[in-house]
C-alpha cells in the first residue's frame, strides 16, 4: 500500500535565498508590505504573546506625513520629539565627522548608523536612569540621547591618551556603566543573553531596573539569540529585546538570516514572548512602543521583543563597499524614508519646529562635534599619538596583576 498523496521530486534541490536586485538593477521594495500608519492597535501591557501575534507581522506606525495617528500616537509628547530630533541630528553630525576623521587617518575604523538614528535615541528616551542597555555597534544614539560627553566618545575613536578604554578597544566599542551602556564586545549576539542575565539579576534582587538588549537581524541567527529567548521565556525577566532589521548584514540581505520565512518579530512566537514589528524610522512609533515594553517590564510582566524595520543607509563599516552587492540608490527607494526628515516635518507641521531652527540646530551641533573633535585631537589620534601606554595593555586583565603578567611587562621593558 502506498498512501502517498503527493509525488516525490526526481531530484531534490537546495533553496538559496537571493535578493530581488543586485548592483545594476533598479531598487525594488515592492515585496515589502508596509501597512498604513495608525492601523496597528495598542494592546494592553498585560497581553500575552498569543494575544498579539498579528502585531509581529504588521508594522506599528504613527507618523502619517505631518500627523501622528492611531492608538500609539498618544504616547509621545512634543517635548520628547524635540529632544529626540536634536539627539538624532547630533548622532548624524557625529557620524559624519568620525567618518571624515577615519578617512583622514586619525583612526583605523568607524561604523555609522545613518538611517537608524531614531531607534536607539527613541528607546533611550523611554528608559529610566539605572536601566542597562546591551547595545551593538550601531547604538551610539543611546549615549548621545543622554548627552554623554562627545569628547569621551571621540577619544575612544582615536584611541588616544584620553581614551577611557585606554586604547584597548576597536573604535565604537564604547563602555559606560554610568550611562547604562554595557561594554561592547564586537562578537555578535553574545550580549543579547547577557542582557537577559542582567535583568534576571535585577529581578532576583527585587530591584526596579530593567535591561534592554540589542541585536541586528543578521545576528538573530547566532546561537546566543536563542539562549536569550529561551532564558527570557523561562524566567520572564524585565528585558526589552530589540532586533534592528536594517535589511543587511554586511553583504547578506535579510533573507539569508531567515527573513524570507518570517518577520524577525515572529521569531519570538517560538518562545511565547510578546513581540511587535515597528517602523524604526518613525520616532513616535519607536518611543511609544519602547515605552510600552518598558512599562511591561517594570510591571514584572516580562520580556518583549521588538523588530525595528529600518535600512542601513551607509556601508557596513569603513572597511565595506556596498556597491559591490546592492544597487547604489537602494536606500533612497526604502519605503520608510529617513527618520530625521520625517520627525522634522512632523514637528514643523505641529508648529514646534521650523526650517530655520533645523538648519541652525544642525550647524550648532556640527560645531559642537567639531569642537569636541579638535579638543580630542589635542589628546592624540591613532596615527599621531599620544597613545595609551604599553602598560595599559597589561593592566586590567585581572583586578590585581598576577606575577606572570608582571614578568611579561618587565620583559617588554614598560
Partner 1 sequence: MARMNMIEAIRDAMDTAMGVDKRVVVFGEDVGYYGGVFRCTQGLQKKYGKSRVFDTPINESGIIGVAIGMAAYGLRPVAEIQFADYVYPGYDQIVSEAARLRHRSAGDFSAPLVVRMPCGGGIHGGQTHSQSPEALFTHVAGLKTVIPSNPSDAKGMLIAAIEDDDPVIYFEPKRLYNGPFDGHHDQPLTSWRNHPLGEVPDGHHRVALGEAALRSEGDDITLLVYGTLVHVALAAVRELGIAADVLDLRSLIPLDLEAIVRSVKKTGRCVIAHEATLTSGFGAELSALVQEHCFWHLEAPIERVTGWDTPYPHAQEWYYFPGPERLKKAIRHVLDATPAKQS
Ligand X SMILES: Cc1ncc(C[n+]2csc(CCOP(=O)(O)OP(=O)(O)O)c2C)c(N)n1
**Could you say whether residue 380 binds a second copy (CB under 8 A)?**
no
Residue 11 interacts with, from a second copy, Mg ion, partner 1, none (CB under 5-8 Å by kind): a second copy
CA distance linking residue 369 with residue 154, whole number of Å: 9
Residue 302 binding a second copy, by CB under 8 A: yes
Pairing of strands 304-309, 239-245: parallel
**Angstrom distance (rounded) from CA 360 to CA 364:** 6
Our finding on whether 3 is near a second copy (CB under 8 A) is: yes
353-380 burial: b if 16+ Cβ within 10 Å, else e: beeeebeebbeebbeebeebbeebbebb
Q: Give residues 269-298 in contact with ligand X (rule: CB under 6 A).
A: none
The nearest distance, CB 260 to a second copy, in angstroms, is 7
Which CB, 5 or 177, lies closer to a second copy?
5
Cβ atoms of 290 and 306 closer than 8 Å: yes
**Can you name the residues that pair with 181 across neighbouring β-strands?**
133, 176
Bridge partners, residue 305, by sequence: 241, 275
238 binds a second copy (CB under 8 A): yes
- DSSP letters for 138-195: T-HHHHHTTT--HHHHHHHHHT-TT-TTTT-SPTT---BTTTTBPPP-SSSSHHHHHH
Do 59 and 40 form a contact (C-beta atoms < 8 A)? yes
Helices (H), 28-106: 78-103
Retrieve residue 6's grid coordinates. Answer: 503527493
Question: Measured in whole angstroms, how far is the alpha carbon of residue 401 from the centre of its chain?
Answer: 35
State how far the Cα of 53 lies from the Cα of 58, in Å rounded to an integer: 9
- Least separation in angstroms between residue 296's CB and Mg ion is 25
By CB under 6 A, residue 324 contacts ligand X: no
Cβ nearer to a second copy, comparing 300 with 354: 300
- Candidate list 66, 164, 187, 324; residue touching ligand X; CB under 6 A: 187
C-alpha cell at position 215: 541585536
Query: Which positions touch Mg ion (CB under 5 A)?
Result: 216-218, 246, 249
* Binding-site member from 38, 70, 218, 274 for ligand X (CB under 6 A): 218
274 in Cβ contact with 49 (< 8 Å): yes
Q: Within positions 322 to 351, which residues make up the interface with a second copy, using CB under 8 A?
A: none
The residue nearest Mg ion at its CB is 216
Subset of 76-95 contacting a second copy (CB under 8 A): 77, 79
Kindly tell me which residue out of 65, 149, 186, 385 binds ligand X, with binding defined by CB under 6 A: 186
78, 347 in Cβ contact below 8 A? Answer: yes
Contact flag: residue 398 with partner 1 (CB under 8 A): yes
Distance of closest approach, residue 317 Cβ to a second copy, in angstroms = 24
Type and span of the H or E element at 362: helix 355-378
- Cα of first residue to Cα of last residue in the chain, in angstroms, is 81
Host H or E run for residue 241: strand 239-245
Backbone angles phi, psi at 104, to 5 degrees: -80, 0
DSSP notation for 293-357: HHHHHHTT---EEEEEE----S-SSTT--GGGTS-TTHHHH-TT--HHHHHHHHHHHTTS--HHH
Q: Which residue, 240 or 365, has its beta carbon nearer to ligand X? A: 240
Query: Which residues, 40 to 69, sit near a second copy by CB under 8 A?
Result: 44-46, 49
Residue of 226, 298, 352, 375 that binds partner 1 (CB under 8 A): 226
Position 79 contacts partner 1 (CB under 8 A): no
Q: Which of residues 238-277 bind partner 1 (CB under 8 A)?
A: 249-252, 256-258
Q: Count residues contacting a second copy (CB under 8 A)?
A: 69
Site membership for a second copy, residue 18 (CB under 8 A): no
Length of the chain (residues): 414
CB 153, min distance to partner 1, A: 14
Pick the binder of a second copy from 52, 59, 75, 241 (CB under 8 A).
Answer: 75
| Distance of closest approach, residue 138 Cβ to ligand X, in angstroms | 5
Helix (H) or strand (E) holding 201: helix 190-205
Candidate list 99, 151, 250, 255; residue touching a second copy; CB under 8 A? 255
Closest distance between a second copy and the C-beta of residue 412, in Å?
34
198 is a contact residue toward a second copy (CB under 8 A): no
- The footprint of ligand X (CB under 6 A) covers 136, 138, 186-188, 216-219, 244, 246, 248-250, 312, 316
- The footprint of a second copy (CB under 8 A) covers 1, 3-17, 44-46, 49, 74-75, 77, 79, 200, 202-204, 206-208, 210, 221, 223-227, 229-230, 233-238, 255-258, 260-262, 266-273, 291, 295-296, 298-302
Amino acid at each position: 500500500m502506498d498512501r502517498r498523496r503527493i509525488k516525490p521530486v526526481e531530484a531534490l534541490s537546495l533553496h538559496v535565498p537571493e535578493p530581488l536586485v543586485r548592483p545594476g538593477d533598479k531598487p525594488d521594495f515592492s515585496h515589502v508590505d508596509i501597512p498604513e500608519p495608525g492601523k496597528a492597535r495598542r494592546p494592553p501591557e498585560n497581553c500575552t504573546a498569543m494575544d498579539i501575534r498579528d502585531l509581529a507581522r504588521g508594522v506599528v506606525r504613527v507618523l502619517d506625513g505631518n500627523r501622528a495617528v492611531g492608538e500609539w500616537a498618544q504616547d509621545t509628547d512634543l517635548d520628547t520629539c524635540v529632544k529626540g530630533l536634536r539627539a538624532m541630528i547630533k548622532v548624524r553630525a557625529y557620524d559624519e565627522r568620525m567618518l571624515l576623521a577615519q578617512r583622514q587617518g586619525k583612526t583605523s575604523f568607524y561604523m555609522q548608523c545613518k538611517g537608524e538614528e531614531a531607534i536607539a535615541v527613541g528607546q533611550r528616551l523611554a528608559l529610566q536612569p539605572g536601566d542597562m542597555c546591551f547595545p551593538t555597534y550601531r547604538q551610539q544614539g543611546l549615549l548621545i540621547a543622554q548627552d554623554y560627553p562627545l569628547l569621551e566618545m571621540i577619544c575612544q575613536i582615536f584611541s588616544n591618551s584620553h581614551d577611557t578604554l585606554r586604547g584597548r578597544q576597536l573604535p565604537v566599542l564604547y563602555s559606560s556603566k554610568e550611562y547604562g551602556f554595557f561594554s561592547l564586545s564586537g562578537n555578535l549576539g553574545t550580549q543579547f543573553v547577557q542582557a537577559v542575565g542582567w535583568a534576571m539579576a535585577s529581578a532576583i534582587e527585587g530591584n526596579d531596573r530593567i535591561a534592554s538588549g540589542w541585536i541586528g537581524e543578521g545576528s538573530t541567527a547566532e546561537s546566543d539569540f536563542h539562549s536569550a529567548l529561551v532564558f527570557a521565556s523561562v524566567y520572564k525577566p524585565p528585558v526589552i529585546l530589540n532586533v534592528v532589521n536594517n535589511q543587511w548584514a554586511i553583504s547578506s540581505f535579510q533573507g539569508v538570516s531567515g527573513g524570507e520565512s518570517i518577520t524577525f518579530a515572529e521569531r519570538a512566537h517560538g518562545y511565547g514572548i510578546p513581540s511587535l514589528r515597528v517602523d524604526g524610522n518613525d520616532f513616535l512609533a519607536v518611543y511609544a512602543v519602547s515605552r510600552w515594553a518598558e512599562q511591561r517590564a517594570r510591571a514584572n510582566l516580562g520580556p518583549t521583543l521588538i523588530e525595528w524595520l529600518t535600512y542601513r543607509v551607509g556601508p557596513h563599516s569603513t572597511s565595506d563597499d556596498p556597491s559591490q552587492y546592492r544597487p547604489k540608490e537602494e536606500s533612497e527607494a526604502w519605503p520608510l524614508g529617513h527618520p530625521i526628515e520625517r520627525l522634522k516635518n512632523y514637528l514643523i507641521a505641529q508648529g514646534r519646529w521650523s526650517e530655520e531652527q533645523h538648519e541652525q540646530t544642525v550647524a550648532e551641533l556640527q560645531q559642537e562635534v567639531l569642537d569636541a573633535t579638535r579638543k580630542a585631537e589635542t589628546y592624540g589620534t591613532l596615527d599621531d599619538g599620544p597613545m595609551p601606554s604599553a602598560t595599559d595593555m597589561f593592566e586590567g586583565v585581572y583586578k590585581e596583576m598576577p606575577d606572570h603578567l608582571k614578568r611579561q611587562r618587565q620583559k617588554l621593558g614598560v
